[in-house]
Amino acid sequence: MIMDEKEVLEALKKYREMDLKYEDGRILGSMCTKPHPISRKISEMFFETNLGDPGLFKGTKKIEDEVIHMMGNFLNNDNPFGYIISGGTEANITAMRIIKNLSIKKERLPKVIVPETAHFSFEKAREMMDLEYIKPPLTNCYTMDVKYIKDYIEDNNKNDNKKIDGIVAIAGCTELGTIDNIKEISKIAEENKIYLHVDAAFGGFVIPFLEEKYKMDNYNYEFDFSLNAVSSITIDPHKMGLAPIPAGGIIFRDSSFKKYLDVEAPYLTDTHQATLIGTRTGIGVASAWGVMKLLGKEGYKNIVSKCMDNTHYLVKKAKEYGFEPVINPVLNIVALKDDNPSETCLKLRQIGWYVSICKCVGALRIILMPHVKKEHIDEFIGALASVKKN
């Protein structure tokens, strides 16, 4: 049935009203948040742009290059190369494409060390590219056991058939927010000339802006290109970067990695394409540029400090009610121990609270994104207490 414009908009509005709104403070298990308001105007300005054919959208392509440099800058890289793509999933799959294409023995499956705590996008990559994953045990801090990695590589790297082709480490893991000991992992990767990819999809816009007072003693916070072996980093503006979806980021140490991604695209204005997705909007790219220019490092620092402050507030409140965190929060993610997290999560949902759960440990997972305020935390803890009583 054909509709006029008013009818179309009214019908869509009704659907949209069924959605939850970040500002209501009930979304506690999401790594996304309400984008910075400037992105509304930017989205309109760039709504028809297509970076799949950059020769037609030269200005938008220039913005992408500038954003990559801005992000490279706070990741300690003066000469970065990369793309603003659909999200962390595409970024991680792109990094795995590099490892696959670099792998030394084409006759066997590429072997990659991947943390147990890795996001499920790595599982998609494994399935698509027939990768073999080695998953080191976790320490009691829920990070990869570095000694295991060292021993494993020493034992296997003499034999070409068993050699490790790549290592993935995480800076801000999805479930707990932990950061692998990337400083030590980088040393091992460097000594053995192994490609190291860091998934900082969430942590990339948090860790560089973390005030000292929120850092724990004897914990590794280093994750970026200042570590010699780090070759690529996933870092998503559409998570803590406050850009609208879709804006994920894959940043490489330099442009030498492009050739491992390029496929021929002879009929385009640019005759090679490196990104997984062909036709892709410039909206996220331009919005990330705008939000980053507006906020600057100071702006992100203020946002991260507020989120960390709320994180500690939630832990304090939770403890008052007898709920215990699994670990001291590293970033703005809290895991609260629970004997039946799926059931608790469901019960909370029935009364309008949306948290998620951890699979690596029995716990509820709460992410203190910028849209979550102290009054939401107070209400939530009350709701959790009432759910657990019944």
Positions that interact with ligand 0PR (CB under 6 A): 30-32, 87-89, 92, 119, 121, 174, 199, 201-202, 236, 248
The edge-to-edge listing of strands for the beta sheet with 356-358 is 333-337, 363-367, 356-358
In the complex, least distance from residue 78 CB atom to ligand 0PR, rounded to whole angstroms: 25
Tokens read off for 255: 């442009």
87 versus 370: smaller Cβ distance to ligand 0PR: 87
Burial tier of 220 (Cβ tally within 10 Å: 0-12, 13-18, 19+): middle
> How far, in Å, CA of 125 to CA of 92, rounded?
8
Check if the beta carbon of residue 194 is closer than 8 Å to that of residue 291.
no
DSSP bridge pairs for 248: 85
- Among residues 31 and 99, whose Cβ is nearest to ligand 0PR? 31
Q: How far is the CB of 248 from ligand 0PR (least distance, A)?
A: 5
Give 238 or 317: the residue with its C-beta nearer to ligand 0PR.
Answer: 238
> Would you tell me the crossing angle of helices 374-389 and 341-350 to the nearest 10 degrees?
110
* Residue that is written with structure tokens 């509709």 in the block: 3
Count of C-beta atoms within a 10 Å radius of residue 225: 22
Token reading at 360: 């690596």
Closer residue to ligand 0PR, CB minimum distance, 114 or 164: 114
Q: How far is the CB of 52 from ligand 0PR (least distance, A)?
A: 19
CB of 389 to ligand 0PR, least distance (A): 28
Least separation, in Å, of the C-beta of 3 and ligand 0PR? 30
Residue 234: CB minimum distance to ligand 0PR, A: 6
Contacts of 370 (CB under 8 A, 6+ apart): 33, 34, 240, 242, 303, 306, 307
Closer to ligand 0PR by CB, 3 or 128: give it. 128
Is the CB of residue 366 less than 8 Å from the CB of residue 313? no
Shortest distance in whole angstroms from residue 244 CB to ligand 0PR: 12
Residue (32 or 51) nearer to ligand 0PR, CB: 32
Between residues 32 and 99, which has the closer beta carbon with respect to ligand 0PR? 32
Minimum Å distance from CB 151 to ligand 0PR? 26
Nearer to ligand 0PR (CB atom), residue 124 or residue 337:
124
352 Rama class: left (phi>0) / alpha (psi -120 to 50) / beta: left
Query: Whole-angstrom Cα distance, residue 234 to residue 89?
Result: 9
Q: How many CB atoms lie within 10 A of CB 1?
A: 3
8 Å CB contact between 173 and 115: yes
